[in-house]
């Protein structure tokens, strides 16, 4: 009986030591993973979110948090594990006339179909390297106004404004603008298609 008690005590001690070692190993691995992940990114890298279509450029790295400048010119901070490299993003490399606006890139659907307007600033101007956040926001809001008036002239029934998720500043200002109009209803556009990054306007 005494031998059995000794064996139980020894097993209990081994169990405690085993779990302490596991905790130490886990802590070491987490530190190593964070260190490796952080070493992957450097200021100026083009990145995108793993679970969103948001893209941007790395502007600041601190601890395990990375601050990026998104496509709207706003800064946002994410965990290093939420980001991936994005070789498709081009910001500030197009040398064109910054003051010239382009027509919104929207699908050329007939009036009875839904027209989609991409409000990402890169879709509205040739380049925005020298534009302030305020300037970009005004261009986006002016595009919304123009599209609302055009839709009414064409007797369209529905529009979808693609604004992305980001910091939510563009959507906030867009909602303020849309609420000033009469004869429209405002909805979140299809989550399945736009993942929460678009708003639908219905005319009646």
pLDDT surpasses 80 at 3? no
Residue 35 falls within a domain, yes or no?
A: yes
Please state the domain count of the chain: 2
> In terms of DSSP H, where are the helices of the chain?
2-40, 133-153, 169-178, 191-194
Residue 150 falls within a domain, yes or no?
A: yes
Residue 172 falls within a domain, yes or no?
A: yes
- The model's pLDDT over 149-171, given as tens digits with 9 standing for 90+, comes to 999 999 999 999 999 887 788 99
Do both 24 and 81 map to the same domain?
yes
Asked whether the CA dihedral 186, 142, 125, 89 is positive or negative, the reply is: negative
What pTM does this model have?
A: 0.48
pLDDT surpasses 50 at 93? no
- Higher per-residue pLDDT: 26 or 149: 149
Give the CATH number of the domain where residue 174 resides.
Answer: 3.30.1370.110
Boundary residue ending a domain (65, 85, 105): 85
Do both 14 and 74 map to the same domain?
yes
Do both 54 and 119 map to the same domain?
no
50: exposed, middle or buried (Cβ count in 10 Å: 0-12, 13-18, 19+): exposed
Residue 90 falls within a domain, yes or no?
A: no
Give me the domain span that covers residue 142: 115-203
Residue 23 falls within a domain, yes or no?
A: yes
């Amino acid at each position: 009986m005494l031998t059995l008690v000794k064996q139980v005590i020894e097993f209990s001690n081994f169990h405690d030591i085993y779990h302490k070692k596991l905790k130490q190993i886990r802590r070491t691995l987490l530190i190593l993973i964070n260190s490796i992940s952080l070493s992957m990114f450097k200021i100026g890298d083009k990145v995108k979110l793993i679970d969103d279509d948001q893209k941007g450029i790395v502007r600041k790295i601190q601890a395990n948090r990375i601050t990026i400048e998104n496509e709207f010119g706003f800064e946002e901070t994410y965990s290093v594990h939420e980001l991936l490299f994005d070789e498709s993003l081009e910001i500030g490399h197009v040398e064109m006339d910054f003051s010239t606006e382009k027509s919104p890139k929207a699908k050329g659907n007939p009036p009875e179909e839904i027209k989609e307007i991409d409000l990402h600033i890169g879709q509205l101007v040739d380049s925005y390297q020298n534009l302030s956040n305020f300037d970009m926001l005004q261009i986006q809001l002016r595009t919304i106004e123009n599209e609302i008036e055009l839709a009414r002239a064409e007797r369209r029934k529905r529009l979808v404004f693609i604004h992305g998720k980001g910091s939510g500043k563009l959507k906030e200002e867009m909602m303020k603008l849309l609420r000033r109009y009469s004869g429209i209803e405002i909805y979140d556009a299809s989550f399945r298609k736009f993942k929460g990054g678009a708003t639908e306007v219905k005319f009646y």
